[in-house]
Each structure stands twice: as C-alpha cells, then as structure tokens.
Structure 1
Amino acid sequence: GGPRAGSPGLSGRIDPAIGKLYALTELSIVPGRIMGSLPATISHSKSLRFLAVSRNFISGEIPASLGELRGLKTLDLSYNQLTGSIPPSIGSSPELSNLILCHNHLNGSLPRFLSQTLTRIDLKRNNLTGAIPPTSLPPSLQYLSLARNQLTGPVNQVLLRLNQLSYVDLSLNRFTGAIPGQIFAFPITNLQLQRNFFYGAVQPANQVTIPTVDLSYNRFSGEISPLLSNVQNLYLNNNRFTGQVPDSFVDRLLAANIQTLYLQHNFLTGIQINPAADIPVSSSLCLQYNCMVPPIQTPCPVKAGSQKTRPTTQCNEWRG
C-alpha cells in the first residue's frame, strides 16, 4: 500500500526485543530502509492485528511463528527481498483478512488458507510453483493476484468456489485446463488470465458485464461467444479462435461501447463490417494475422507484427 502516517523512513534492523511490546496492536513501517530478517519474536506481541513492513529491504524467510498471532488481520510484507516458502502456519491464521506478499523472492507452493474472513491475497511477482489444490483458497476471497509466478495445473475447481471475486489476476504463470463459463457471472471487474496455457472453448452462460477481460496468449479455441460483446476491453489475441466475429461486436464497437477489441493472431475467417465505417476515436480494433484480410482496423500494437494475414497453409491445416 501507500505510505502510512507515522513512518519517517526508518532504517536499521528490527530489534528482537520488539516481542516485549505485548500490548502492540499495529506495527507499520511503510516505506523504510529496514534491513535484515524479521525477528521471530514478533509473535510474542500477541495483540498484533496489523503488521505492515512493506517497501523495505527485509531478507531471509517469513518466520513460521507469525502464525501464532491468532488475531492478525493484515500481514503486508510486500516489496522486500524475502526468500523461502510461505509458512503453512500463516495459512492457518484464523482471523487473517489481507495477505500481501507481492514483489519478493518467495518459492514453494501455496499453503492452504483456513481463514473464512480472508478477502485479499496478493502474491504477484514471486517464484511460487506447483498446483493449487481445489480447497486451498476460501470462498470469502474478493481479490486474488498470483501473477508472474511459475504456478501450474488447472484452476477450474479452484475458481468455481470463489464466487465473491471482484479482481482476478493469474497472468504469466503456467496454468492449464479449461476456464468454467460460470466465472463470468461472478462480480469481477477485472479478469486477467493472459499468458498461460489455458485451452478449450470460452462459453459464458449469460451476457458478460466484466469491464476488462484479458484471455490473450493462451490456447483457447472454438468460436467467439457473442455474450462477450458487452466487455469494454476484450483481449482475445494470440489464441486459436475460429469462425466469424459475431455481429454484436461490430454494433457495439461502432457505437463506442467497446474501447479495446484485440483479435489478432487467431484463425478467424470473417467480420461483417463496412470498410468505410468510422471506428470511434476512443475505440481500438486489431484483426491482423487471421485467416482473412482485415476489412478495416485501427493501428495494432507493435507486437502484432506487420503481416496482415496468416499463411493459407496454416489456415487450411487448422480447418482440417
């Protein structure tokens, strides 16, 4: 989080004697120049509810003894140089609401989280590995970011339980399997699943009203569902989608209801749009490197390359 009042940018190390502050309920050093490891004796401050030592230079492992702080609600050790794994004892912390350990060097797998009041997990930019067991994350979660790790395996059973999610970022991992259509009905405002190995059809059950959906750089296939045409920023590029672009996308794009529609690098065969149509200034449409000549588009991102269409041989193979 941002700087909190009361932290003048402290430097040095945290003295193990801090554990003698038995009545301490909140410790916040954000940001600072604290070095060394987090003393295990912090767990003696049994009244601690809020522990934030983020944006410092803390190294070493997260003390397993922190799990003894049974009343701890927020643990924020983000933006440090922590190593080792996340202690299972942290996952067992019964009152935990916010766990923010992003931007460290943590490895190992995700522990099982038992707190039924846990609403926020942010572990992005670490070196976490392994699969996520279906019951390891509680249904109370509203914010989940696991981006930029090396996590593997399917997430469909995990996600189906998390029907209170408002923000999901699983991007830049090695997740596999299908994405359940039901998650598009969750109260999500931002769904980031890009750069994984997800595959299969994308089949929402109803109109999707999530403002931003990024499914790019995966292995999704089949036709693009017209139920996605209410999404304001939709990134489906670099997948294996086939068929025609549904007319509902064209209507909403020309009415300036879609801001970003990235469909480049798929196997799409057509879009019904007047080449003389005026795409609103606020909207972006990229269609290149599909199995058609783009009738019209706005400037594409540099990564899309300069080739307008996919080689015919690739398109024939894909149809075959």
Structure 2
Amino acid sequence: MYPLSFKMTAGCGFLLIWVIMLHSQFPISTGCLQDERSYLLDFKAGLNLSSGRLSSWRGFNCCEWEGVACDYHTSHVIRLDLRNPVDYYYSSDYHKQQLTGEVRTSLCNLQHLQYLDLSWNDFNGTSIPPQLLKLHRLEFLRLKNAGFGGEVPLELGNMSSLRHLDISDNFWLIQISTYDYFTSDYFKCSKFDVWVRNLRSLEFLDMSNVNLSMASEHWGDALSGLPNLTQIHLFGCGLSGNIPDLSNLTRLSHLHIAYNSFPVQLPSWFENVSSLVSVDLSSCGINGFIPSNFMPRSRMSNLVLDSNYGLKGNLSFMLSHSSSLVVLSLSHCNLTGVFPTSIANFSKLMTMDLGYNNLEGSIPSSFGSLTLRQLYLGHNQLSGTIPDCISKLASLNVLSLRSSGLRGNISLQLFENLTRLSQLDLSENQFVIDISTSWVPKFAHLSTLELQSCNIQGNFPAFLSQQYQLSRLDLSDNNIVGNLPSWLWDLPNLHQLNLSNNQLEGSLPRKISHSFLTVDLHGNRLYGSLPPLDFGSHALDLSNNGFNGSIPTTIGIFDTLSLSGNNLTGEIPSSICNNSDYHRVLDLSKNKLTGMIPSNIGQCYVIEILKLAQNVLQGEIPKELGNLQSLRTLNLNGNRLQGIIPPSIANCTDLQIFDLGNNNFEGSIPVWIEKLTDLRILSLASNKFDGRIPPQLFSGSGVKLRSGICYCDCSVVLPHEMEIHMLFFHG
C-alpha cells in the first residue's frame, strides 16, 4: 500500500501528462499571429476612418478587434466582417460609418480567411484587387454596395471554395453597352458565363444591378451546371432573351431575376423544380397566358410577377392552387375574374398585391379569416363596398383600395380595431366617408393617410391631431370647411401634405417647419400674407387662394413653386433665384405683380416651366432668360412688357410653349424662331409687331407648328404661299 503523498503525486503526474497530450492534439489559442496583425494594421492604414470605426484595432491580440474572428486552435484570422453597421441609405449616420479609401493588397496575405464582408461602404469606384481573389479558402464574399467599379475580375472563377457570393449594387463602371437600363455608374461583367461555371461549391449568388448585358446567351447553362445553387439574385442585370431552363437545379429555392428583358411566355419547367420557395420575375416583359403547369406547388411562399403588362390570367384559376403562399404580388398583369371563396384557405398569406388589374365582383367575407399584413386592391373594377370583415384583419398594416370601383357610406370607425395600421388609402372611389368629430382612434403607427375624393364633409378631422407618426396626408378634392388648424404644422413627422381643392379658410402660420417635402394647398379660401418661404421642399403649391401682400424675400429651394391665382402685389424679389439649383417650375401668374422681370431668373439654369402671365409687369424681357436652356414653357401673356424679343431666347432650344400675347412688343417677328424646332404653341397676338411673317417659320426644317397652334396679330402680313396656315392664326 502506497503512502497517501505518493498517490497524490502520481495522480498529479498522470493529470499533467494528459493535459500535455491534449494540448499537443488541440492547441489552445493565446492570441493572433503577429504577421496577420501587421497585415490588418496595414489594411487599416489605407482606409479613411473619420467616424472612429476600427478604434478597437490596437493592442496585441487582433482576435479581439472589431469585426475580426480567429480560429480557436490555430489563431489564424478566418473572419473579417467590416460591413457598415448602418445599412440604411437615409439614416444620418449611414455615410459617417462608411469605410472609404483603398483595399490594400496586405489583406490578401490572410490566406486562412474564410469570410469577408465589406458591404455598404464606399471604395469610390476602385477595382476589386485581383490579389484578393487568391484567398482560396474564402467561402463567403460579400461586397454589396461597396462602391467597387470596373470589370468583374475573371479571377473570381478561381475561388473554388466560395459558397456565398454577393457583389450586387456596385454603381461604378464605364458604360459598355447600349442597354437603356444602365448608366455609366454600373459595375460590368462581360464574361459572366466564362468564370461562374467554375464555382462548383456556390450556393448563393447575388449580382443584382451588375451589367450582364454583354454576357453570352449561355449564361443560364453556366448556372445550371452549379449543382449546389439554392439562391439566384440577378435583379436588373440587362439580361435578355429566353428564361433559361434551370430545372436540373434540384436545390434551387430562390429565383429572383426581375427587371430584365424576357419577352416570352412563362416557362413550363417551373413545375419540375419542387424546391422553389420564392420567385420574382417582375418587370421582365413576359407575355401570354399564365400556364396551368406554372402555378407553384406546396412549398412556394413568394410569387412576384408585377408589371408584366403582356400577361393574362384568371384570378379564380390561379388561386385554386398554392395555399402555402405568404406573398402574392401580381399587379399590372391584366388579371380578370372574381375572388373565389377558397381564398379562406390561404391561411399563411401576409401580402396580397393585385392592384392595376381588371378584377370584378365584391370583396368576399372570407377575407376576414386571413392573416394579411398588406393588401393592395387598387385600380380594379370591383363592386360593392368595404365589407365588415376587414375589421378582423388585426395584423393589417397596409390597406390600399385607391380607385378600385368600390362605393358606399364608410365610417373610419370600421378600421379602429386595426391598431397596427400604418398606411390607409381609400382615394378616388365612390365613397361618402364619415369622420366623427369625437372619434379618437387607437392608431399608434399611422404614417400614411390618403382620402382623396372621398366626399368628406365638415370641419378638418380632429383625430389627426393625435397622429404623431403621420408622414403623408392627402385629403384633397373633398368638401372640408373651416379654418386650417394650427396644430397641423406641429405634427413632428409630417412631410407630405395635400389639402388642395377644399374650402379651407384662414392664414398660414408665421413659420413653416423645415421638415416638409411637399405642401399643396391650392384651390382653397386661404388668405393673408405669405410667411417666409425659407423651409425649402420638393413642391409648394399655394395657387388659387386669396393670399395678398408681397412675395417674401426669403425663399428656399423648391423644385416646384406655384403662387398663381392670388392677389400678390409688389415686385418679384431678386432672391427668387439666388441659386442655380432653384425651381424647375416657377408659376407666379394671375397676380398683380409689378416692376420688371428680375434678370437673375436667368441663373435658374434648371428651370423648365416659367409662367409670369396676367400680371402688371413692365420693361423688356431680360436677355439673361436665354441662359435657360432647359426651358420648355415661357408664358408672359397679359402684361405690359415692351421692346423686342431678345435674340438670346434662340438658345432655349427645348422651348415648346412660347406665349408673349397681349403685351406691347414691337418690331418684326424674328427669323431665329425657326431654330426653336420643338415649338408647338406660339402666341404673339395683340402686340405691336409689323412686317411679314418669316416664311422660315413654316419651312420643313423650321418650326413644326402644323401640329400645334400659332396666334399672331392680324396686322402682320402673311406671305402668299403661307395662306394655308391662316387656320392657325388668331387676331
């Protein structure tokens, strides 16, 4: 019998030997390898990091750095995830978090790398480094929306271990094709079928918005030879011809090839691919009847065929299958028929978009048994009214019935149980909508409310004062009366407002929020002076009201600014065009404006429509208007303008409507008008022109007024050979 101390010593010895043997077989990592740490630091040195990203890239152990992962046993860097943490374009932090600069070739020395994600950054059109494609252990490569450009490298075909490849949405490229969809900012790949056939391990492929229009007709054959493919995403790639037969891809679950050009019928081979779960062939120019053997089988969850205007099909027939569908989107497909009662079997359906078709009949009560979240039935020929069963769709967040043919008296209280509703559009039907003044709905998420032409009577709906998430509000073309409520301008998220063609009264607040994108209040009874218009928006339309006083001198940047049909007085402020980015449309007509046309309107280089008609403007047309080379409409009718038509207007070669009638212009009609070859309406009536009408105006190479209208004062002498055109003249 051994002493106790010997037993303990022997036991510890055996344990030590076991630990040594275990470590020899499974070494434990003690930190990253120093040469790989150096490679990462050199890669970082090539980046611009103003946001503080990669601030953790310091210290000894690079395996603990942001986005870096190492093999537990070997300490080799195997994963580098540097995607932008903010993957939303419109977030204020998106651009701040982007990595920019260059992808240094030191990254290519990480030969054990299996996963690389640089998506949602901006490498400013630089090419993908060919050395990067020598990482033969790489299984996951994601460069989505990373700002790469040039040609997709052929070396991609050498990455035989790749299982996931995403190089979509890189908008940098020299244009190489005449395909209309593409611009000079698109990534290109002219030899797609050459290199992709080598990626035998590939399971996921996304090259959406990469220009494949130069790829050969065998691109489908190349993909069909990749036996492990489960997802194909080739959205908007300029592909054309036939939809290739991919029936031998027995694992294919997602086929998304929308926004290409396949002017053919739907292929019958779809029925042979039982693995398909999601199909998107929208906007592909597909035509013909939807064949019976195309309809998805039991596994299909998403079917999207939107905007194939040549398609035809019967809704009842199509809905006799596929009760597993979660998303059904068939807008703009010329569908006919009525809703079958079997719609109740679609218990998984969450999104149904059947808008812009020719559907008839009523909405069946069986809709109430569905779990819909989004329902689009607008622009059809339905009958009846909105059934009460709609109130049972407790998960519904989008309901669009615009111009669907429905009618009847509707109370918005029908929707009060739809507490998740975010978008509601009932516009342009034959509804009479009642909104109780005391009704307080439980909409916590309502962001869009569109009730255009809904015969709404009475005062402004009071419940809207509590809709703090409201972003878009359209109550136009109704009979709403009373004052415009002051609380409307305080709704924190309201960006688009259309209250036009009602009977609203009152004045505008002294200050309008800078958050508005569009404000349309035309055709009401609003009055008072205009507040400073310095908030800037896409469009501001205050026309056909009773506003008075002068135009404010502080004016923001508007794409469209219309103040016509009011009682505005004073001069047009020179500040109205202090920036060349101002106004594509500027309409100040039908007011009482005086003074001269400001010459700096000629600085509004993007302006397309300029209307100053029916005011009391004096002086001459500024020669600077000739700088407006995008101008399509110039209407100065009904003022007190004088002098000659400045020759600089000949530079406005896009001009289609040129109206100088009812002024005091004099001299001869200029010959250079013949250079305005797009002109369709020319009005020079009731001026003081003299002489003959230049015959060049009606020559084959001159102005094509035969399809338009020409008004001119009868004191002007027509050439004998132009008598046939007397029909176009008005004295």
Normalized against structure 2, the TM-score is what? 0.37
Q: Find the partner of 2:578 among 161, 174, 181.
A: 161
Determine the C-alpha separation between the residues in 1 that align with 2:518 and 2:707.
Answer: 37
Within 1, Cα distance between the matches of 2:441 and 2:533? Answer: 25
8 Å contact kept, 1:165–1:187: yes
What does residue 178 of structure 1 align with? 596
Distance 2:438 2:471 in 1: 18
Partners of 1:275 and 1:50 lie apart in 2 by 51
Aligned partners of 2:448 and 2:709: how far apart in 1? Answer: 47
State the 1:14 CA deviation. 4.7
Aligned to 2:644: 223
Q: What are the within-5 Å matches in structure 2 for residues 144-293 of structure 1?
A: 144-161=561-578, 163=580, 164-184=582-602, 185-205=604-624, 206-209=626-629, 210-229=631-650, 230=653, 231-249=655-673, 251-252=674-675, 256-271=677-692, 273-274=694-695, 278=699, 280=704, 281-289=706-714, 292-293=716-717
Q: Name the aligned partner's letter for residue 44 of structure 1.
A: Q
* Preserved contact between residue 451 and residue 474 of structure 2 (Cα < 8 Å): yes
Distance 1:52 1:198, change over 3 A: same
SS of equivalent residue, structure 1 residue 32: coil
**How far apart, in 2, do the equivalents of 1:105 and 1:70 lie?**
26
| Residues 1:76 and 1:258: Cα distance change in structure 2 (over 3 Å) | closer
Check conservation: 1:148, 1:173, Cα contact below 8 A. Answer: yes
Distance 1:257 1:98, change over 3 A: closer
Shift of 1:122: 1.0
Percent identity, aligned pairs only?
Answer: 29
Q: Aligned in 2, Cα 1:111/1:207: closer, same or farther, shift over 3 Å?
A: closer
Q: Which has the larger radius of gyration?
A: 2
CA spacing shift, 1:162–1:122, aligned 2, 3 Å: farther
Q: Which amino acid in structure 1 is aligned with residue 663 of structure 2?
A: N
Asked if 1:104 is matched to 2:529, the reply is no
Contact preservation (8 Å) 2:522, 2:542: yes
Give the secondary structure class of the aligned counterpart of 2:601: helix
Equivalent position of 1:131 in the other structure: 550
Deviation of 1:274 (Å)? 4.0
TM-superposed CA distance for 1:39, in Å, is 4.1
Amino acid at match of 1:96: F
Aligned-partner Cα distance in 2 for 1:51–1:215: 34
Give the C-alpha shift of residue 11 in structure 1: 1.7
Aligned to 1:81: 503
Give a deviation string over 1:251-302, Cα, whole Å, max 9, x none. 336xx54322211211223356249965752354433155x54545744779
| Aligned residues of 1:225 and 1:246 also touching (Cα < 8 A) | no
Bigger mean CA deviation after superposition, 167-176 or 261-270: 261-270
Task: Give the Cα–Cα distance (whole angstroms) in 1 for the partners of residues 697 and 451 of structure 2.
Answer: 58
The answer to whether the 8 Å contact 2:671/2:696 transfers is no
**Tell me, which stretches of 5 or more residues in structure 1 are unaligned?**
306-320
Deviation larger for 11-20 or 93-102: 11-20
What are the ranges of 5 or more consecutive residues in structure 2 without an aligned counterpart? 1-378, 380-399, 403-424
3-state DSSP of counterpart to 1:182: helix
Partner in structure 2 of residue 316 of structure 1? none
| 1:55 alignment partner in structure 2 | 477
- Structure 2 partner of 1:93: 513
Q: 1:14 to 1:218 in 2, by over 3 A?
A: farther
How many residues get paired?
Answer: 294
- Please report the RMSD computed on the Cα atoms of aligned residues, expressed in angstroms: 2.9
1:180 Cα offset (Å): 2.1
Code of the residue aligned with 1:258 in structure 2: it is L
